[in-house]
Amino acid sequence: MNDEKRKKKLNILMLAWRDIKHPQKGGAEIVTDIYLSHLAKTNNITLFASSFKDSKDEENYNNYNIIRKGNKLSVFWHGFLYANKYKKDFDIIIDQVNTIPFFTPLIIPKNKRVAFFNQLCKNVWFYETKLPISLIGYLLESIYLKFYKNTRILTISESTKNDLIRYCWAKPENVFISEMQIDFKPLSIIKDKKNQFVYVGRLKKSKRVHDIIKTMSLIEDKEAKLYIIGDGDKYYKDYLNKLVNKLNLDNNVIFTGRISNQKRNKIMQNSKAILVTSVREGWGLIITEANANGTLAITYNVEGLRDANKTGIITKQNTLECLAENINHILKDNNLMLKLSKLSLDFAKTHNNWDKQCVEVEKWIKK
């Protein structure tokens, strides 16, 4: 690719489920905004996403244009129609696949299309939906992935790349990995730790927060605290509260709800470890953020978590007993905890440059 083509201002369209202003935004929307904000410095960027209560049909945000139409399901149909109608006006069309795709391979030429996968859904279907919807979703995902086998794909971890090669039949050379970065400066030194652990994230069944709570009843130190930071599905929150009461952990488990990043970071800095037990993740950015606060991670051995958790502890088996064993190990061996915390902080410092990462992504997109 010559310099003239790299410098050319392109018209780029991204199709996504939600945008950064959506009340149910998550990590995918934050990362999307980071990429689009960078691309908008030298290109004309349009994001097509679903509408929400009191949302504007069209607005400019961080120098890119947002067009909204449809709800959480119909947005995929409206996005498909929009891309088909205006495909001649765009040089590149990015299809962000978050559970459901926009099926751009059916209408967009190969040289103009890019797919963006944070992760595959796979077994998450069976945690977040009931039968027969979960089975239908699982089978349909296995089918629609094949549509993207000849599409260039942007993803965020080696685990997801391997999934795409396995289930999407993607060619390895067509998949570009852009590992997640943190957007704040890591600590310079490790803070003193309290007798506590932390979970941070959405309260959803697929995150298996119930496993973490059950594990707290198995560890040897009955005085240890667990902070659960985040919000989520009401039925699952009710279940977690009942579980805490049933296990007599009311004095051990603290639900904070959503709190500021400043308060979150302070709790992470004071904790001996962050506990993450998701069914699967794209990367597990909260692990890197905890690392930046000088806190190691203890996680299950699943896709995404094994990519982000390079310096903490990964359980040999994804069971309560293995998780409890590793927590007990950290509680007993303070030197090990401090050693892994230092390694984790050093790792976070290698994932603290979104500008560099965005430049690499832009170069790859423009090939």
Q: Tell me the chain's radius of gyration from C-alpha atoms.
A: 21
Give the tens place of pLDDT for each residue, 304-327.
Answer: 999 999 999 999 999 999 999 999
Q: DSSP assignment, residue 98?
A: B
**Domain range enclosing 28:** 3-181+353-365
Same domain, 154 and 283: no
- What pLDDT score was predicted for residue 313? 98
Work out the pLDDT band at 295, boundaries 50, 70, 90. very high
- What pLDDT score was predicted for residue 339? 98
Structure-token pair, residue 2:
């010559």
Do the domain assignments include residue 190?
A: no
Say if strands 273-276 and 296-299 run parallel, antiparallel, or are unpaired. parallel
Is 175:164 a contact under the CB 8 Å cutoff? yes
Question: Per-residue pLDDT averaged across 7-34, rounded?
Answer: 91
Work out the pLDDT band at 6, boundaries 50, 70, 90. low
Structure-token pair, residue 254:
């603290």
Is 343:215 a contact under the CB 8 Å cutoff? no
State the Cα–Cα distance between residues 99 and 179, nearest whole angstrom: 20
- What pLDDT score was predicted for residue 3? 52
CA angle, 301 then 179 then 292, to 5°: 75
Model pTM?
Answer: 0.91
Same domain, 326 and 222: yes
Do the domain assignments include residue 188?
A: no
Same domain, 270 and 151: no
Higher pLDDT, 4 or 32: 32
- What pLDDT score was predicted for residue 4? 52
Give the tens place of pLDDT for each residue, 206-215.
Answer: 999 999 999 9
Peptide bond connecting 132 to the previous residue in cis, omega within 30 degrees of 0: yes
Say if strands 175-177 and 152-155 run parallel, antiparallel, or are unpaired. parallel
Higher pLDDT, 133 or 83: 83
Looking at the predicted structure, is the pLDDT value of residue 2 above 70?
A: no
**Mean pLDDT, the chain, whole residue set:** 95
Same domain, 208 and 157: no
Same domain, 84 and 106: yes
Q: What percent of the chain has pLDDT over 90?
A: 92
What count of residues does the chain have?
367
Question: Per-residue pLDDT averaged across 173-201, rounded?
Answer: 96
Give the tens place of pLDDT for each residue, 115-132.
Answer: 999 999 999 989 998 899
Same domain, 129 and 252: no
- What pLDDT score was predicted for residue 327? 98
Give the tens place of pLDDT for each residue, 225-242.
Answer: 999 999 998 999 999 999
Higher pLDDT, 256 or 4: 256
Q: What percent of the chain has pLDDT over 70?
A: 98
Same domain, 74 and 91: yes
Same domain, 280 and 313: yes
Structural domains in the chain (count): 2
Same domain, 170 and 247: no
Structure-token pair, residue 336:
């090990």
